[in-house]
Chains A and B, each alone.
Chain A
Amino acid sequence: MTYSFPEEVLEHVFSFLTSQNDRNAASLVCRTWYEMERWCRKRIFVGNCYAVNPRVLIRRFPEVKAVELKGKPHFADFNLVPEGWGGFVYPWIVEFARVYPWLEEIRLKRMVVTDECLEIVSKAFRNFKVLILSSCEGFSTDGLAAVAANCRNLRVLDLRECEVEELSGHWLSHFPDSFTSLESLNIACLSLEVSFSALERLVSRSPNLKTLRLNRTVPLEKISKLLQRAPQLADFGTGAYSAEIRPDVYSSLQEAFSGCKKLKSLSGFWDVVPAYLPAVFPVCSQLTYLNLSYATTQSPDLIKVISQCHNLQRLVVLDYIEDMGLDTVAVTCKDLRELVVFPSDPFVADANVLLTEEGLVSVSQGCSKLQSVLYFCRQMSNSALISISKNRPNLTCFRLCILEPRAPDYLTFEPLDVGFGSIVENCKELTRLSMSGLLTDRVFEYIGKHAKKLDMLSVAFAGDSDLGLHHVLSGCESLRKLEIRDCPFGDKALLANASKLLTMRSLWMSSCFVSFGACKLLGQKMPGLNVEVIDERENLNLLPENAPVEKVYIYRTVSGQRLDMPDFVRIMGKDKNGVYNLL
């Protein structure tokens, strides 16, 4: 039986498919659907820039409006990926400039972006609207100046935690007077002062501005002026929240905040002078997102703010909040979905604050909608973890960092296997898990058995043997990202589960017991994988086959050999043509 849908109908139906996974599934149905879908896919997401290359992308998808690329592995955030490893966006930008003149949006995470890239972006795409750079590096304020000067229709310039070479603060003044389309500006990561008058004028002529996150250098006394010019703001990040205590400054600040009826997100708060915190009280009950994680304010002052935030959905704080503050959260923030508690003094073993596992248990009890947790603390117990898992079976993301590696249950001195086991058993929708503390192979057995929806797992200083890794690789059906450091996992589990790696985005293993020989074998056996050995030692060729590598990063790819590797990165088991070699 044949039938035919007119192409326009198919295209119209596909336009309702927004998720890339859905589009990927549709494209597998039949040749017609594949062809139809690829012509009308407008948004592309590439989770690993080395899994595919620009030419492959452009060949398949000719009409792209928005691209999102991710580069370095997640552990690059913690200094585990040496400088120069890769993630260069330049080749992509060059191809996009050539083929997608109507590209509107670029989102990059952990990539190296040069000024030249930014200049190309600013000139090649007439209708360019959105630039979001997350944890990127390699560019300077000159590149920003080019974007400001040339992107006439820019709506979003969002620099999230980027490493920018700051030559001057003058770049902001390059936005022309005729530029009025700005909706979102995030410069929180910049250290240099930008011209306040240029900033003020920019804000004044941007009626659609919804997000404004300032950097530390914008003084508190001047914030009122900005807020008065943009009372429609939904998301605001202050600069340094400190000033000499002056009633006039305080009252104009409070008045300015009162005027922001649509404000839902607040962040910034560097160098907080507590006396100025009450100025935000008028907006507290509106807030759904509050980030006080740069505020070195003590618990009582934090409590005064949080106790008014009845509608809070996401809270990011330092451990200064202490258990007492988290009790307040549990009582006040009944709509809380996400809790993040960072450590104020991470490199000191002794507790400087009264934050323990109890705070987290309290929030898990009081906040029935809690789904996502990132929690740094100094002690944990199996009983607390079990309570948390029973209180909150709806957890989807659970990341716990006990500061001391291999710390056992502080009450029983046992490993925390049972506690984390309870988490994966009860929280059936768990997609992301980061573990810490003393953990044996048993916890991996639990994970392999129960964590069927687990997408990403982060492990450090855990396990006893290869069995641990084997449990995870053989049991976790949905696993796509696995990152491991300092665990006694070696060759056996890796080689036995080689085909599993083709179903995953990537596997990172550093300071483990994976040998050169195994990496080579894996690379030879699996042409669909790049097995990157990242090792900065000299004279690697003199090391025996069974010597462990420093780091190995394994990812599936249709792109074959990388051509941009530094000398400390070797792709094992393949030569330049993808053929077996002896390395």
Chain B
Amino acid sequence: MGPQGLGLEITELRLGLPGGSGEKKRVVSGGREADVCGGEGKKDMDMVVGWPPVCLYRQKKSMGEATRKMYVKVSMDGAPILRKVDLSCLKGYSELGMALENLFGCYGIGEAMKAESESCEYIAIYEDKDGDWMLVGDVPWLMFIETCKRLRIKRRSYSNGVGLHGINNY
């Protein structure tokens, strides 16, 4: 969409080199149209205050997660000190993985959550509201943060055999 080729470009304020065109992703920028060259996927707008006119309340509530703080304890095999992580600040399993890697140095745990790969030395499990220990990554993120009470990072070699049989005896 856009007024290409009708000479209206003259009236547009542009950032970017003169004479350049080609594939550009348009961003909604409140009257200043910035050319963002190339790139796949969606680009976020330059934020104009108050535009589009979606009220703040709705913006906050639509953030996909509850806005309250959700601190849960995280323990790791072999680490004597527990940590806490705020699940409400994280947007998904990837960010959780990164947060855990930063806290404990358990590299690869983010990947392990996404795919049932055996490559990572660690696995992440959580205790849910029923008191059962579950593998992190199975349920949708939003459901996970509602039910997760605490997290644990275990070394894979401590689990029995292939998969996680016996985990609920934990």
Contacts and interface: CB of A to CB of B under 8 A. Distances in A.
Contacts of B44: 347-348
A407 B12 CA distance: 12
B30 to A, nearest CB: 5
B68 A244 contact: no
B47 A347 contact: yes
Contact of B31 (A189, A191, A352, A405): A405
B26 A401 contact: no
A403 B52 contact: yes
B53 A405 contact: no
B48 interface: yes
B31 A486 contact: yes
Interface stretch (A52-60, A75-83, A195-203, A559-567): A75-83
Contact of B53 (A78, A161, A217, A270): A78
B140 to A, nearest CB: 8
Given A242-B143, A294-B61, A408-B3, A192 B53 contact: no
A78 B50 contact: yes
A376 interface: yes
Interface string A342-385: 11111111101000000000000000000000001011000000
B43 A294 contact: no
B139 to A, nearest CB: 7
Interface string B108-136: 00000000000000000000000000000
A226 B125 CA distance: 33
Interface string B1-44: 10100101000000000000000011111110000000000111
Most chain A beta-carbon neighbours within 10 Å: one of B25, B27, B30, B53: B53
Contacts of B25: 349-350
Given A240-B146, A294-B61, A350 B42 contact: yes
Nearest to B67: A191
Contacts of A343: 52, 54
- Interface extent on A, as a size class? 35 or more
Interface string A460-475: 1100000000000000
A403 B62 CA distance: 17
Interface residues of B, number: 39
Contacts of B43: 348-350
Interface in A254-284: 270-271, 273
Most chain A beta-carbon neighbours within 10 Å: one of B1, B3, B27, B61: B1
Given A192-B68, A404-B28, A485-B50, A348 B57 contact: no
Contact of A296 (B29, B53, B64, B147): B64
A401 B53 contact: yes
A80 B45 contact: no
B49 interface: yes
A342 B59 CA distance: 11
A39 interface: no
Nearest to A217: B66
B62 A294 contact: yes
B30 A461 contact: yes
A135 B58 CA distance: 11
Given A348-B44, A349-B25, A79 B54 contact: no
Contacts of A161: 55, 57-58
A78 B56 contact: yes
B68 A75 contact: no
Nearest to A78: B50
A347 B28 contact: yes
Contacts of B67: 191
Contact of B52 (A242, A271, A376): A376
B1 A407 contact: yes
Interface of A: 75, 77-80, 135, 161, 163, 166, 189, 191-192, 216-217, 219, 240, 242-244, 270-271, 273, 293-294, 296, 342-350, 352, 376, 378-379, 401, 403-408, 410, 413, 434, 460-461, 485-486
Given A349-B42, A404-B26, 11 more contacts: A77-B53, A78-B54, A78-B56, A161-B57, A296-B64, A348-B28, A348-B43, A349-B25, A349-B26, A403-B28, A486-B30
25 contacts: A77-B56, A78-B50, A78-B53, A79-B56, A80-B49, A80-B50, A191-B67, A192-B68, A217-B66, A219-B146, A242-B140, A244-B147, A273-B143, A343-B52, A347-B44, A349-B25, A349-B42, A349-B43, A350-B42, A379-B1, A405-B28, A407-B1, A408-B8, A413-B6, A434-B53
Interface of B: 1, 3, 6, 8, 25-31, 42-45, 47-58, 61-62, 64, 66-68, 139-140, 142-143, 146-147
Interface pairs A-B: 10 shortest CB-CB: A78-B50, A77-B55, A161-B57, A348-B42, A191-B68, A349-B28, A404-B28, A346-B52, A413-B3, A80-B50
